Structure 1
């Protein structure tokens, strides 16, 4: 029996056209896909590989062309199967040239300790915001080597690394369409703020104590300029103008895979910091003492340039060497002192410098420039408590100026 269709041809149901594959590209639903043939390195057999999720036909074509080139070179990576670990290894290698050596080593360590053991085996495309959120929860609960909670600052730093890596997975490598890290719930940033802050009197006590050490000029300069540890260890005599009373900070020293490495400052910029007469005298004395050490060492002198702070035989100083010295000096003093000096980190000398300047009324932008902060807003956030303390006296100060 023959069925009769009712209605005009326009009213009759139409068959939905199947998507057409054109030169390896086709539309599937709302997104575009491409297919290429890739040779299996083990069997030598050529198999089709589909890759989808592109927003436009042009995006799919561009990715197809790149994939074809990589397939011919034997470098094709199936973006549907790549794991988080594989991608992060690729990302580190691709960006090694644009990341400072110290930062690169920091990234490698962070990813190795805090990311790969947890989500490294997952497919990159399977990672969701909830995956990253759970990662942060696990790190905060038991992320350290001994299974104890990890510091908020460490988890926040891990987030910063992942944010950059996954952003590149979207924009550069086009492995995924959006970054799950952006939508993940992360702990509130724990700023690298001041620890114990000495008073001016306590700082004077420490600097008097430090004069017993051959590197006392290092601690004096750290206190009177707020320069970072690595910046001072990178300092050359040609960067110091004793007559003009200023030093030029051009680079920094770090440790990568156990090796001492010199690079740019944290901001990547050079800065000039003024010094006072006392600091000029301290540096002059240090220079004379260094010349005396060089004369005593004779041919054994290891120095090859005019580095300001060296070992007694002219060799380079590793950052970790000076890090522990303040604690050793303070603890030795406190064993017999009736007025114990609070133990602080070497980095806290930088905080002491900034705090005393801010409390003295020095403008925030001036302090930021001395510290090498890229933006005074950073100084405002780190030293917010100091600024609030100064603000409490602002009303009285204003009233007195007009009395």
Structure 2
């Protein structure tokens, strides 16, 4: 056995194992590693299962699932973006090879795949924790792509049903009141303009990190989302957003003013730092002008939520807060789809079918009158829906 231990910051000991694999075609060393086991026994058991999955044979043997998928990934380097390819590699390495890597690809049947899905759902995560149905469905989609390219037809393969959404479609969606509270609290923050763009314009983390002043037209109130900074493995890439994510986003006078003030503050920083400032044109750089690592914005966001006294949501859910606010305010679905850069209208529709309770509450108050005082429906409608004359229709 090749298990070892390492010390955590809290003093606890965790265990890991390493399996050496045959070298790759380019001569580079390959290993399969898993860590996070609470005991030596647990690590040894997991290693035994991994070796069994590899069939105790050469992982590079022709026809094995591992070998064929590795070859498939190599071929996809020609036509798949690096970030997408990195995601494929991680899925194959973490979830497929440890379970069926040693099997012969062309002798697989769908029951083997479905058994793997069951195992992943039950204990496919770190420390043998369960994986979410969403993650397993992602594994399924990658395998389907690979099987199609490799000419494998196993027939219909059952996959986990989608996880049930909560009542709002997202765990984290703020009400307009919470959004205002958050932004008001951080009005003097150095990242205030970044947070405002996330909430008001629905920009993604990578789009915020990669935004440059050359793509911001304050005179006409337009932000051009033409570049994003994204994490790929251990490095950061700057690339154009794929599909319809490349877009022009209109911003109102208030957001324009926020960005003007942010630029003035940045100019003061440049003057203070002087020759040491590396002006690369980023809208949201560090104090020396260099761009932030994209995860910096995620790390700062959680603390910003806590400081403002609002529910902690993930940064990406600021987009869904923006979309949901638009839905409640009556912004047409196709307009919001273009604004958020959704390639598929279904993505926008999912948000629009899970609007916040505010509009439902107004409808409920209006309909309650029909049970108690029909003559008051019109008056209540004017109070609830802002003064419009909504008269009851009689059959």
TM-score, length-scaled by structure 2: 0.72
The match for 2:161 among 159, 171, 188 is: 188
1:55 maps to: none
Q: Are residue 345 (structure 1) and residue 345 (structure 2) matched?
A: no
Residues 125-134 or 387-396, more deviating? 387-396
Q: Which residue of 1 aligns with 2:69?
A: 88
Asked if 1:354 corresponds to 2:323, the answer is yes
1:218 to 158, 179, 194: 194
Offset, 1:389: 8.2
- Contact 1:368–1:379 at 8 Å: present in 2 too? yes
Aligned partners of 1:99 and 1:401: how far apart in 2? 57
Residue matched to 2:78: 97
Quick one: distance in 2 between partners of 1:354 and 1:310? 27
Whole-angstrom CA distance in 1 between matches of 2:274 and 2:232: 31
- Contact preservation (8 Å) 2:210, 2:229: yes
Corresponding residue pairs, total: 310
- Give the drift of 1:251: 2.5
C-alpha distance in structure 2 between counterparts of 1:381 and 1:136, whole Å: 26
Write the distance in 2 (CA, Å) between the matches of 1:136 and 1:306. Answer: 47
Matched, 1:271 2:247: yes
Give the distance between the partners of 2:389 and 2:283, measured in 1 at CA.
48
Once residues 384 and 354 of structure 1 are traced to their aligned partners in structure 2, the CA distance between those partners, rounded to angstroms, is 11
Write out per-residue CA displacement over residues 82-134 of structure 1, whole angstroms, 9 at most, x where no aligned residue: 11111111111111132222222111111111111011111110121111111
CA contact (8 A) 1:209 1:329 kept: no
Aligned to 2:390: 400
Q: 1:242 aligns with which of 212, 218, 221?
A: 218
Q: 1:268 to 1:370 in 2, by over 3 A?
A: closer
Identify unmatched segments of 5+ residues in structure 1.
1-79, 171-175, 334-339
Partner of 1:137: 118
Distance 1:191 1:100 in 2: 31
CA spacing shift, 1:210–1:97, aligned 2, 3 Å: farther
Match of 2:149 in 1: 168
Pick from 301, 313, 328: which aligns with 1:326?
301
Separation of aligned partners in 1, 2:337 and 2:65: 38
User: How many angstroms does 1:191 deviate by?
Assistant: 8.5
Shift of the 269–372 alpha-carbon distance from structure 1 to 2, 3 Å rule, reads closer
Q: CA RMSD in A?
A: 2.7
Task: Determine if the alignment matches structure 1 residue 308 to structure 2 residue 308.
Answer: no
- Pairing partner for 2:269 from 293, 300, 306: 293
User: Does the Cα contact within 8 Å between 1:229 and 1:347 map onto a contact in 2?
Assistant: yes
Residues 201 and 322 in structure 2, CA contact (< 8 A), matched pair in contact too: yes
In 1, the alpha carbon distance for the partners of 2:392 and 2:117 equals 54
Instruction: Write the deviation string for residues 146-176 of structure 1: whole angstroms up to 9, x where unpaired.
Output: 1010112111111111111111111xxxxx4
CA–CA distance in 2 between the matches of 1:246 and 1:234? Answer: 16
Three-state SS of the structure 1 residue aligned to 2:223 is strand
Runs (5+) with no aligned partner, structure 2 = 1-60, 368-380
CA distance in structure 2 between the aligned counterparts of 1:290 and 1:364, rounded to whole angstroms: 36
- 1:380 corresponds in structure 2 to 349
Shift in alpha-carbon separation, 1:363–1:401, aligned structure 2, 3 A: farther
SS of residue in 2 equivalent to 1:386: coil
